[in-house]
Protein backbone atom coordinates (compact mmCIF):
# COMPACT_ATOMS: atom_id res chain seq x y z
CA UNK A 1 0.00 0.00 0.00
CA UNK A 2 1.29 3.45 -0.89
CA UNK A 3 2.02 5.58 2.13
CA UNK A 4 0.11 8.85 2.59
CA UNK A 5 3.48 10.47 3.23
CA UNK A 6 6.44 10.60 0.92
CA UNK A 7 8.64 11.26 3.93
CA UNK A 8 8.28 10.53 7.63
CA UNK A 9 10.98 11.42 10.11
CA UNK A 10 10.68 9.98 13.60
CA UNK A 11 12.90 11.12 16.47
CA UNK A 12 15.85 11.73 14.15
CA UNK A 13 19.16 12.62 15.78
CA UNK A 14 22.52 13.41 14.26
CA UNK A 15 25.32 14.01 16.73
CA UNK A 16 28.95 14.65 15.85
CA UNK A 17 31.92 14.09 18.09
CA UNK A 18 32.82 17.55 19.39
CA UNK A 19 35.90 18.89 17.67
CA UNK A 20 35.15 17.07 14.41
CA UNK A 21 33.10 19.92 13.04
CA UNK A 22 34.73 23.02 14.39
CA UNK A 23 33.62 22.98 18.05
CA UNK A 24 36.35 22.03 20.50
CA UNK A 25 35.66 20.03 23.63
CA UNK A 26 38.07 18.31 26.04
CA UNK A 27 35.37 16.09 27.50
CA UNK A 28 34.44 13.98 24.49
CA UNK A 29 31.10 15.76 24.31
CA UNK A 30 28.89 15.72 21.28
CA UNK A 31 27.51 18.36 18.96
CA UNK A 32 23.74 17.99 18.89
CA UNK A 33 23.32 19.11 15.29
CA UNK A 34 19.93 17.45 14.78
CA UNK A 35 18.13 16.52 17.96
CA UNK A 36 14.86 14.60 17.98
CA UNK A 37 13.20 15.80 14.79
CA UNK A 38 9.71 14.62 13.91
CA UNK A 39 8.40 15.56 10.49
CA UNK A 40 5.90 14.33 7.91
CA UNK A 41 5.71 15.42 4.29
CA UNK A 42 2.81 14.55 2.00
CA UNK A 43 3.15 13.74 -1.69
CA UNK A 44 3.41 17.00 -3.64
CA UNK A 45 3.76 19.11 -0.50
CA UNK A 46 6.26 21.95 -0.06
CA UNK A 47 7.71 22.59 3.37
CA UNK A 48 10.03 25.43 4.25
CA UNK A 49 12.67 24.59 6.84
CA UNK A 50 13.67 27.90 8.38
CA UNK A 51 16.30 28.89 10.89
CA UNK A 52 19.51 30.81 11.29
CA UNK A 53 22.84 29.42 10.24
CA UNK A 54 24.01 26.56 12.48
CA UNK A 55 20.49 25.50 13.56
CA UNK A 56 20.95 22.06 11.97
CA UNK A 57 18.73 22.43 8.90
CA UNK A 58 21.46 21.53 6.39
CA UNK A 59 22.65 18.59 8.54
CA UNK A 60 19.05 17.40 8.64
CA UNK A 61 18.92 17.53 4.83
CA UNK A 62 22.20 15.61 4.47
CA UNK A 63 20.96 12.97 6.92
CA UNK A 64 17.70 12.60 5.00
CA UNK A 65 19.70 11.97 1.84
CA UNK A 66 21.89 9.41 3.57
CA UNK A 67 24.96 11.61 3.10
CA UNK A 68 25.27 11.67 6.90
CA UNK A 69 24.52 8.59 8.98
CA UNK A 70 21.71 9.09 11.51
CA UNK A 71 22.73 8.69 15.17
CA UNK A 72 19.21 7.64 16.17
CA UNK A 73 15.65 7.74 14.93
CA UNK A 74 14.02 6.63 11.72
CA UNK A 75 13.52 7.95 8.19
CA UNK A 76 10.72 6.49 6.09
CA UNK A 77 10.53 7.23 2.35
CA UNK A 78 7.27 6.16 0.74
CA UNK A 79 6.69 4.06 3.85
CA UNK A 80 10.01 2.22 3.53
CA UNK A 81 12.66 2.50 6.24
CA UNK A 82 15.69 4.12 4.59
CA UNK A 83 17.56 5.15 7.73
CA UNK A 84 20.52 2.82 7.28
CA UNK A 85 20.73 1.53 3.74
CA UNK A 86 23.43 -0.44 1.98
CA UNK A 87 25.30 1.50 -0.74
CA UNK A 88 23.31 -0.01 -3.62
CA UNK A 89 19.96 0.87 -2.05
CA UNK A 90 21.25 4.31 -1.12
CA UNK A 91 22.12 4.98 -4.75
CA UNK A 92 18.60 4.06 -5.83
CA UNK A 93 17.10 6.28 -3.13
CA UNK A 94 19.30 9.23 -4.14
CA UNK A 95 17.80 9.07 -7.60
CA UNK A 96 14.39 9.68 -6.06
CA UNK A 97 15.59 12.36 -3.62
CA UNK A 98 17.63 15.04 -5.31
CA UNK A 99 19.38 17.99 -3.72
CA UNK A 100 19.94 21.49 -5.02
CA UNK A 101 22.87 23.01 -3.17
CA UNK A 102 23.38 26.60 -2.17
CA UNK A 103 26.37 27.39 -4.31
CA UNK A 104 25.96 26.82 -8.06
CA UNK A 105 29.59 27.91 -8.53
CA UNK A 106 30.84 24.95 -6.49
CA UNK A 107 28.28 22.32 -7.38
CA UNK A 108 29.15 22.36 -11.10
CA UNK A 109 32.35 20.83 -12.43
CA UNK A 110 34.10 23.70 -14.27
CA UNK A 111 35.79 21.30 -16.72
CA UNK A 112 32.55 19.73 -17.98
CA UNK A 113 30.17 21.14 -20.57
CA UNK A 114 26.53 21.65 -19.56
CA UNK A 115 25.58 18.58 -21.58
CA UNK A 116 28.16 16.44 -19.75
CA UNK A 117 27.00 17.77 -16.38
CA UNK A 118 23.33 16.91 -16.94
CA UNK A 119 23.99 13.59 -18.72
CA UNK A 120 26.37 12.27 -16.05
CA UNK A 121 23.74 11.40 -13.38
CA UNK A 122 21.67 9.66 -16.08
CA UNK A 123 24.65 7.47 -16.94
CA UNK A 124 25.43 6.81 -13.25
CA UNK A 125 21.85 5.68 -12.61
CA UNK A 126 21.54 3.79 -15.90
CA UNK A 127 18.66 5.92 -17.16
CA UNK A 128 17.92 6.12 -20.89
CA UNK A 129 18.33 3.26 -23.35
CA UNK A 130 21.07 4.99 -25.34
CA UNK A 131 22.91 8.27 -25.86
CA UNK A 132 20.16 9.74 -28.02
CA UNK A 133 17.54 9.16 -25.37
CA UNK A 134 19.78 10.61 -22.67
CA UNK A 135 20.41 13.67 -24.81
CA UNK A 136 16.66 14.17 -25.28
CA UNK A 137 16.14 13.94 -21.50
CA UNK A 138 18.95 16.42 -20.97
CA UNK A 139 17.44 18.92 -23.40
CA UNK A 140 14.00 18.60 -21.85
CA UNK A 141 15.39 19.09 -18.33
CA UNK A 142 17.31 22.20 -19.46
CA UNK A 143 14.27 23.67 -21.20
CA UNK A 144 11.97 22.87 -18.27
CA UNK A 145 14.50 24.73 -16.13
CA UNK A 146 14.23 27.81 -18.31
CA UNK A 147 17.36 27.33 -20.46
CA UNK A 148 15.82 27.60 -23.94
CA UNK A 149 16.62 26.57 -26.58
CA UNK A 150 18.66 23.85 -24.90
CA UNK A 151 21.01 23.51 -27.92
CA UNK A 152 22.52 26.93 -27.19
CA UNK A 153 23.66 25.77 -23.73
CA UNK A 154 24.80 22.18 -24.32
CA UNK A 155 28.39 22.96 -25.32
CA UNK A 156 28.98 25.83 -22.95
CA UNK A 157 30.97 25.64 -19.70
CA UNK A 158 29.70 26.82 -16.30
CA UNK A 159 31.96 29.91 -16.33
CA UNK A 160 30.19 31.07 -19.50
CA UNK A 161 26.85 31.29 -17.67
CA UNK A 162 25.43 33.77 -15.18
CA UNK A 163 24.81 32.75 -11.55
CA UNK A 164 21.08 32.29 -12.21
CA UNK A 165 21.74 30.18 -15.32
CA UNK A 166 24.16 28.00 -13.35
CA UNK A 167 21.55 27.36 -10.68
CA UNK A 168 19.12 26.43 -13.48
CA UNK A 169 21.68 23.85 -14.70
CA UNK A 170 21.89 22.44 -11.15
CA UNK A 171 18.10 22.18 -11.08
CA UNK A 172 18.06 20.61 -14.57
CA UNK A 173 20.54 17.93 -13.57
CA UNK A 174 18.36 17.08 -10.55
CA UNK A 175 15.18 17.08 -12.67
CA UNK A 176 16.64 14.83 -15.35
CA UNK A 177 16.44 11.97 -12.84
CA UNK A 178 12.73 12.65 -12.28
CA UNK A 179 12.97 12.75 -8.49
CA UNK A 180 9.97 12.48 -6.20
CA UNK A 181 11.47 14.77 -3.57
CA UNK A 182 13.65 17.82 -4.09
CA UNK A 183 15.69 19.17 -1.19
CA UNK A 184 16.75 22.72 -1.99
CA UNK A 185 19.34 23.98 0.50
CA UNK A 186 19.39 27.80 0.41
CA UNK A 187 19.15 27.65 -3.42
CA UNK A 188 18.99 31.41 -3.90
CA UNK A 189 21.14 32.82 -1.12
CA UNK A 190 24.26 33.05 -3.35
CA UNK A 191 22.38 34.74 -6.19
CA UNK A 192 21.76 38.40 -6.94
CA UNK A 193 18.54 39.67 -5.43
CA UNK A 194 17.22 40.37 -8.93
CA UNK A 195 17.28 36.69 -9.93
CA UNK A 196 16.21 35.10 -6.64
CA UNK A 197 12.52 35.50 -7.46
CA UNK A 198 13.07 33.91 -10.89
CA UNK A 199 14.60 30.76 -9.37
CA UNK A 200 11.92 30.49 -6.68
CA UNK A 201 9.22 30.93 -9.33
CA UNK A 202 10.90 28.20 -11.38
CA UNK A 203 10.90 25.80 -8.41
CA UNK A 204 7.26 26.64 -7.70
CA UNK A 205 6.31 25.99 -11.33
CA UNK A 206 8.23 22.70 -11.48
CA UNK A 207 6.66 21.56 -8.23
CA UNK A 208 3.21 22.31 -9.66
CA UNK A 209 3.71 20.72 -13.08
CA UNK A 210 5.62 17.66 -11.89
CA UNK A 211 3.95 17.21 -8.49
CA UNK A 212 7.33 16.91 -6.75
CA UNK A 213 7.51 17.27 -2.98
CA UNK A 214 9.96 19.95 -1.90
CA UNK A 215 11.91 20.71 1.26
CA UNK A 216 13.06 24.31 0.90
CA UNK A 217 15.77 25.21 3.39
CA UNK A 218 16.28 28.87 4.08
CA UNK A 219 17.30 31.36 6.75
CA UNK A 220 14.88 33.87 5.25
CA UNK A 221 11.21 33.16 5.79
CA UNK A 222 10.38 35.99 3.39
CA UNK A 223 11.69 34.08 0.36
CA UNK A 224 9.20 31.19 0.50
CA UNK A 225 6.03 32.70 1.93
CA UNK A 226 4.01 32.29 -1.25
CA UNK A 227 5.52 28.97 -2.30
CA UNK A 228 5.48 26.69 0.75
CA UNK A 229 2.41 24.89 2.11
CA UNK A 230 3.91 24.53 5.58
CA UNK A 231 6.81 25.92 7.53
CA UNK A 232 8.98 24.33 10.22
CA UNK A 233 11.13 26.66 12.29
CA UNK A 234 14.36 25.15 13.65
CA UNK A 235 16.46 26.31 16.56
CA UNK A 236 19.54 24.51 17.87
CA UNK A 237 18.77 21.19 16.22
CA UNK A 238 15.06 21.11 16.99
CA UNK A 239 11.81 22.13 15.37
CA UNK A 240 10.27 24.71 17.69
CA UNK A 241 7.24 25.56 15.59
CA UNK A 242 5.52 23.92 12.65
CA UNK A 243 2.28 24.64 10.85
CA UNK A 244 0.54 25.84 7.70
CA UNK A 245 2.43 28.75 6.14
CA UNK A 246 -0.48 31.16 6.53
CA UNK A 247 -1.19 30.06 10.09
CA UNK A 248 2.40 30.57 11.14
CA UNK A 249 2.67 33.91 9.36
CA UNK A 250 -0.56 35.24 10.85
CA UNK A 251 -0.40 33.65 14.26
CA UNK A 252 3.25 33.06 15.04
CA UNK A 253 3.52 31.38 18.40
CA UNK A 254 7.11 30.72 19.33
CA UNK A 255 9.19 33.77 20.34
CA UNK A 256 12.04 32.65 18.09
CA UNK A 257 9.72 32.44 15.06
CA UNK A 258 8.32 35.85 15.98
CA UNK A 259 11.84 37.29 15.93
CA UNK A 260 12.57 35.72 12.51
CA UNK A 261 9.33 37.05 11.12
CA UNK A 262 9.81 40.54 12.50
CA UNK A 263 12.89 41.18 10.35
CA UNK A 264 11.30 40.27 7.01
CA UNK A 265 11.17 43.46 4.92
CA UNK A 266 7.57 44.57 4.28
CA UNK A 267 7.03 47.29 1.64
CA UNK A 268 3.79 48.63 3.17
CA UNK A 269 4.79 50.65 6.29
CA UNK A 270 1.36 50.08 7.84
CA UNK A 271 1.91 46.32 7.80
CA UNK A 272 5.42 46.44 9.22
CA UNK A 273 6.05 44.55 12.43
CA UNK A 274 8.09 45.80 15.35
CA UNK A 275 11.57 44.35 14.90
CA UNK A 276 12.56 41.89 17.60
CA UNK A 277 16.33 41.80 17.99
CA UNK A 278 17.40 38.74 19.94
CA UNK A 279 20.11 39.30 22.50
CA UNK A 280 23.25 37.17 22.63
CA UNK A 281 24.66 34.52 20.36
CA UNK A 282 23.22 31.12 19.50
CA UNK A 283 24.54 28.81 22.26
CA UNK A 284 27.22 26.25 21.50
CA UNK A 285 25.46 23.01 20.49
CA UNK A 286 28.06 21.10 22.53
CA UNK A 287 27.04 22.73 25.81
CA UNK A 288 23.32 23.21 25.44
CA UNK A 289 21.51 25.44 27.93
CA UNK A 290 19.43 23.70 30.60
CA UNK A 291 15.65 23.65 30.31
CA UNK A 292 14.41 25.34 27.16
CA UNK A 293 17.45 25.73 24.93
CA UNK A 294 16.16 29.09 23.72
CA UNK A 295 15.91 30.57 27.25
CA UNK A 296 19.20 32.58 27.25
CA UNK A 297 17.88 34.63 24.28
CA UNK A 298 14.15 34.50 24.85
CA UNK A 299 12.65 37.92 25.55
CA UNK A 300 9.87 36.42 27.71
CA UNK A 301 11.77 33.64 29.49
CA UNK A 302 10.78 32.91 33.08
CA UNK A 303 12.58 31.04 35.81
CA UNK A 304 10.85 27.74 34.99
CA UNK A 305 12.20 27.93 31.42
CA UNK A 306 15.69 27.33 32.83
CA UNK A 307 14.61 24.06 34.42
CA UNK A 308 12.01 22.51 32.14
CA UNK A 309 12.60 21.38 28.58
CA UNK A 310 9.26 21.96 26.86
CA UNK A 311 10.24 19.58 24.08
CA UNK A 312 10.43 16.63 26.45
CA UNK A 313 6.96 16.85 27.87
CA UNK A 314 5.11 18.40 24.98
CA UNK A 315 4.19 15.19 23.21
CA UNK A 316 2.69 17.11 20.33
CA UNK A 317 5.73 19.34 19.94
CA UNK A 318 5.90 18.87 16.20
CA UNK A 319 2.43 20.27 15.71
CA UNK A 320 2.61 23.33 17.88
CA UNK A 321 5.16 25.60 19.42
CA UNK A 322 7.16 23.77 22.04
CA UNK A 323 6.97 26.58 24.52
CA UNK A 324 5.98 26.70 28.17
CA UNK A 325 4.36 30.10 28.05
CA UNK A 326 2.26 30.09 24.91
CA UNK A 327 -0.96 31.11 26.60
CA UNK A 328 0.73 34.14 28.13
CA UNK A 329 1.63 35.94 24.96
CA UNK A 330 -0.70 34.77 22.21
FE1 LIG B 1 10.89 31.31 25.84
FE2 LIG B 1 10.32 29.81 27.95
FE3 LIG B 1 8.94 29.49 25.69
FE4 LIG B 1 11.48 28.72 25.85
S5 LIG B 1 9.77 27.85 27.01
S6 LIG B 1 10.55 29.85 24.19
S7 LIG B 1 12.36 30.29 27.16
S8 LIG B 1 8.99 31.33 27.00
| Tens digit of each residue's pLDDT (9 = 90 or more) over 65-94 | 999 999 999 999 999 999 999 988 988 898
Could you tell me what percent of the chain has a pLDDT over 90? Answer: 58
**DSSP category for residue 54:** T
Residues with CB under 6 A from ligand 1: 254-255, 292, 294-295, 298, 300-301, 305, 310, 323-325
pTM score over 0.85: yes
What's the gap in Å between 328 CA and the centre of ligand 1? 11
Atom number of ligand 1 nearest to Cα 240? 6
What's the gap in Å between 144 CA and the centre of ligand 1? 45
**Alpha carbon distance 234, 52 (integer Å):** 8
**Alpha carbon distance 162, 303 (integer Å):** 53
**Which residue has its alpha carbon closest to ligand 1 atom 6?**
323
User: How far does CA 330 lie from the centroid of its chain?
Assistant: 28
Question: Candidates 255, 278, 283, 296: which one to mutate for ligand 1, based on the most atoms within 8 Å of Cβ?
Answer: 255
| Those residues with Cβ within 8 angstroms of residue 56's Cβ, 6 or more apart along the chain or in another chain | 14, 33, 34, 35, 234, 236, 237, 238, 285
**Which residue has its alpha carbon closest to ligand 1 atom 8?**
301
| Tens digit of each residue's pLDDT (9 = 90 or more) over 93-132 | 989 999 998 888 888 999 999 999 999 999 999 999 999 9
| Tens digit of each residue's pLDDT (9 = 90 or more) over 136-148 | 999 999 999 999 9
User: Exposure of 209 by Cβ count < 10 A (0-12 exposed, 13-18 middle, 19+ buried)?
Assistant: exposed
- Lowest mean pLDDT across 59-68, 194-203, 259-268: 259-268
Question: Candidates 254, 291, 301: which one to mutate for ligand 1, based on the most atoms within 8 Å of Cβ?
Answer: 301
Question: Candidates 323, 328, 329, 330: which one to mutate for ligand 1, based on the most atoms within 8 Å of Cβ?
Answer: 323
What's the gap in Å between 7 CA and the centre of ligand 1? 29
- What 3-state DSSP class applies to 231? strand
Atom number of ligand 1 nearest to Cα 324? 5
What's the gap in Å between 321 CA and the centre of ligand 1? 10
**Which residue has its alpha carbon closest to ligand 1 atom 3?**
323
**Sign of the four-CA dihedral 258, 13, 66, 31:** positive
What's the gap in Å between 254 CA and the centre of ligand 1? 8
**Alpha carbon distance 14, 64 (integer Å):** 10
What's the gap in Å between 29 CA and the centre of ligand 1? 25
The arithmetic mean of pLDDT across residues 168-193, rounded, is 92
**Which residue has its alpha carbon closest to ligand 1 atom 7?**
295
**Alpha carbon distance 153, 118 (integer Å):** 11
Cis amide prior to 149 (ω within 30 degrees): yes
Q: Which of 155-169, 236-250, 272-286, 307-321 has the highest mean pLDDT?
A: 155-169
Atom number of ligand 1 nearest to Cα 255? 6
| Those residues with Cβ within 8 angstroms of residue 92's Cβ, 6 or more apart along the chain or in another chain | none
Residue 269's pLDDT is what? 67
Beta bridge partners of 30: 17
Q: Is the pLDDT confidence value at 195 over 50?
A: yes
The pLDDT confidence band at residue 329, using thresholds 50, 70 and 90, is very low
| Those residues with Cβ within 8 angstroms of residue 253's Cβ, 6 or more apart along the chain or in another chain | 241, 320, 321, 323, 326, 330
Q: Domain map of the chain by residue range?
A: 246-330
**Alpha carbon distance 228, 230 (integer Å):** 6
Amino acid sequence: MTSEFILEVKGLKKYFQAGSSGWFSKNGKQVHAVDDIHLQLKHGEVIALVGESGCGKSTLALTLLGLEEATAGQILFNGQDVTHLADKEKKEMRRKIQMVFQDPYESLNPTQTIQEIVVEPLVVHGIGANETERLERTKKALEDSGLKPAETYLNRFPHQLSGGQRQRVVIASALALEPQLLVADEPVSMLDVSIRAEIINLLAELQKTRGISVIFITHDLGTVGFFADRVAVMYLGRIVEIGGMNDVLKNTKHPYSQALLSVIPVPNPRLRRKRIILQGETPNPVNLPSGCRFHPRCPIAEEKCKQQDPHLFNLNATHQAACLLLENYQ
